[in-house]
Structure 1
Amino acid sequence: MHLKTMKIPDLTNYEELIAGFCGGAVCAVVCHPFDLLKVRFSANEGNALRPQYASYADAVRKIVAVEGVRGLYQGWTPGLIGASVSWGFYFQWYNALRTKINKDFSTGSEIANNFISGLLAGSAVQCFTNPIWLAKTRLCLQYETQKAKKYTGMIDCLSKTVQQEGFFGLYRGFVTGVIGSTHGSVQIVAYNWIRDKRCEAQGLPKDSFLKQTDIMLASSISKMLATTVTFPFQFIRTRMQDHNTDSRGIWRTTLKTVKNEGVLGLWKGCLIANVRQLPASVVVFLTYENVKRLVGMTKDQ
């Protein structure tokens, strides 16, 4: 009696979703400590109630001394969920929108079409992931110097936020998050442009599977560009979501920061953001491209 070989279902209609989900998950596992440092340095306006770190290395040393390595993974649960869901739906919706816009609503410029597709996909994702990112930010901002922490975890954070600030408290920083969707648009446009140029240089059809080094190059350059250009939006959102202060309103928070810390204060944490984003972007896109290729193979099963 012979067992029939199990047929793998065709998953190509969901290849972007699956690949993006896997890329986001791997990124959260590998890069969360960098994210924690980025959030803490962005939120630090010099308040004496916060621990003051002389450098990123000093921050790591002080956190680990009190809480162990586990302290570097505060906010990891919402970070994992947020990254997985965001990247999965972003890639799925971005590619669907790009196909639709190129076919029926083309601006005549592929770069413009890609930018619009990325902006719409990012804004849509932000609509249901904002509470997750708020929980991650607030959990990351529970310091090792505090005797009692306000939140025990993601669910407790979301629950207490609703109780104390109402449902819309979950959407603090939402507007800056939507505006900050330009980050994803800039990145995806730059990534696809570099990718297309590499395919062209190697005489390959557009959207061909490239070498791992080419994917790393495209993802690194596009992420550094997007992170640096749009960082103030991420910065303002972090401060607005911080439960340790009463930062309300985009304009008010921006003016207060510029007045007390100068214009460059809007880029506080940008260096560690780039340090974090470089490996994060490489991990996301390497995982995404390879998983997408594997899922694409199910069509022939």
Structure 2
Amino acid sequence: MTVRCTVLSSVSDGLDLRPKYTGILHCMKSIWHQEGLRGLYQGVTPNIWGAGASWGLYFFFYNAIKAHHKEVRQKELGAAEHLLSAAAAGALTLCLTNPIWVTKTRLVLQYSTDPSQKQYKGMMDALGKIYRYEGVAGLYRGFVPGLFGTSHGALQFMAYEELKRDYYKYRKMQSDAKLNPFEYITMAALSKIFAVATTYPYQVVRARLQDQHNTYKGVMDVGRRTWRNEGMLGFYKGMVPNLIRVTPACCITFVVYENVSHLLLHR
């Protein structure tokens, strides 16, 4: 439910006719009154596909790259190696999933300010129309800030790995020992909050580039206009609902991943 509020908040530059919200509760209430329950779940299909594909591909690429580094170095990896492995995994994942995130943004940003604006019936309809009217370039809008955004995953995984390593040392445990769910949740939440607080501005820039209701010349144009019209706070619009949305999902993902990994390795 917070997906749409997050994106609308991040692209709201105060200068157009898009809906204005004072906060996440006001956003949800307004959408409920205007569009009902369906409005709160607009864009949920590509978000599910995008999140599932992104996490799956990310873990696959990350573990493969990390294993390669370990084989070459023949010793425990440090923060720099974890950072580089996660950044490379993020770039590879983005190359495959960017069209899904463009579709999600377009579906979320459908509202009745311009009757002539192309409307999308669903994920596949949006993908088809974006490709038909804008070509491959349309499906890869926001790709450049998305590449900068790989720093988000890189910082998160680096922080997560370092927290785990320090915790194992503190508890005098083996580096492959299994922890309880609460311990995984705590480390996942802390690493996610750290990554979001550090890299959130790129998400605002990326969402605004993908927004069909406004036209920007590029990343620098978004940055200049955001700074001129909204100041520093403009780059952090929607961060609170974003944290509320992504942190629980991140914690669940890491707990499931760690437990399934241990189960498969022991088998």
If the length of structure 2 is used for normalisation, what is the TM-score? 0.93
Point out where structure 2 has 5 or more consecutive residues left out of the alignment: none
Q: Say yes or no: does 1:219 pair with 2:188.
A: yes
Q: What is the alpha-carbon root mean square deviation over aligned residues?
A: 2.0
Residue among 165, 177, 183 paired with 2:146: 177
Indicate whether 1:80 and 2:48 are aligned: yes
Displacement of 1:90 in angstroms is 0.6
Cα distance, 1:264–1:107 mapped onto 2, change above 3 Å: farther
Q: Is the Cα contact below 8 Å between 2:94 and 2:146 reproduced in 1?
A: yes
The question of 1:244 aligning with 2:213 is answered yes
What is the alpha-carbon distance in structure 2 between the residues aligned to residue 176 and residue 267 of structure 1? 15
| Cα-to-partner distance string for 1:4-60 (whole Å, 9 max, x where unaligned) | xxxxxxxxxxxxxxxxxxxxxxxxxxxxx2222211100111244211112211111
Alpha-carbon spacing, 1:205–1:146, altered in 2? closer, same or farther (3 Å):
farther
The residue correspondences of 1:194-205 to structure 2 (distance < 5 A) are 194-205=163-174
Q: In structure 1, what is the Cα distance between the partners aligned to 2:8 and 2:232?
A: 19
Give the drift of 1:200.
Answer: 2.0
2-structure distance, mates of 1:159, 1:220:
37
The answer to whether 1:261 aligns with 2:261 is no
With over 3 angstroms needed to count, the CA separation of the structure-2 counterparts of 1:201 and 1:240, relative to structure 1, is same
Match of 1:192 among 132, 145, 161: 161
Question: Greater CA deviation, 47-56 or 59-68?
Answer: 47-56
Partner Cα separation in structure 2 for residue 276 and residue 39 of structure 1: 11
State the SS of the aligned residue for 1:68: helix
Q: Distance in 2 between matches of 1:261 and 1:276?
A: 24
Q: Is the 8 A contact 1:223 1:278 kept in 2?
A: yes
1:109: Cα distance to partner?
6.0
- Structure showing greater Rg: 1
What code does the residue aligned with 1:247 have?
A: Y
The answer as to whether partners of 1:34 and 1:272 remain within 8 angstroms in 2 is yes
Deviations along 1:251-275, one digit per CA (max 9) or x if unpaired, are 1111111011112211111122222
Q: Contact 2:2 / 2:24 at 8 angstroms: preserved in 1?
A: no
After superposition, the Cα gap between the structure-2 partners of 1:200 and 1:78, relative to the gap in structure 1 and judged at 3 Å, is same
Q: Please give the secondary structure, in 1, of the residue aligned with 2:19.
A: coil
Amino acid at match of 1:70: R
Q: Would you say the 8 A contact 1:115–1:189 is kept in 2?
A: yes
Kindly tell me: are residues 218 and 49 of structure 1, through their superposed partners in 2, closer, same or farther at Cα, counting changes over 3 Å?
Answer: same
Deviations 1:118-161 (A, max 9, x none): 00000000001000000001111113777687111111111111
* TM score, norm. by length of structure 1: 0.83
Q: Which moved more, 1:116-125 or 1:270-279?
A: 270-279
Question: In structure 2, do the counterparts of structure 1 residues 225 and 236 end up closer, same or farther at CA, with 3 Å as the change threshold?
Answer: same
Q: Is the 8 A contact 1:107 1:113 kept in 2?
A: no
Q: What does residue range 63-212 of structure 1 map to in structure 2 within 5 Å?
A: 63-104=31-72, 110-143=78-111, 150-212=119-181
The percentage of counterpart residues that share the same residue type is 37
Instruction: Work out which of the residue numbers 22, 31, 35 in structure 2 matches 1:54.
Output: 22
Q: Deviations over 1:90-141 (max 9, x none)?
A: 1111011011123226899611001000000000000010000000011111
1:67–1:144: 8 Å Cα contact kept in structure 2?
no
1: CA distance, partners of 2:182 / 2:77: 28
Instruction: Name the count of aligned residue pairs.
Output: 266
Partner of 1:294: 263
Question: Please, which runs of 5 or more residues in structure 1 have no aligned partner?
Answer: 1-32
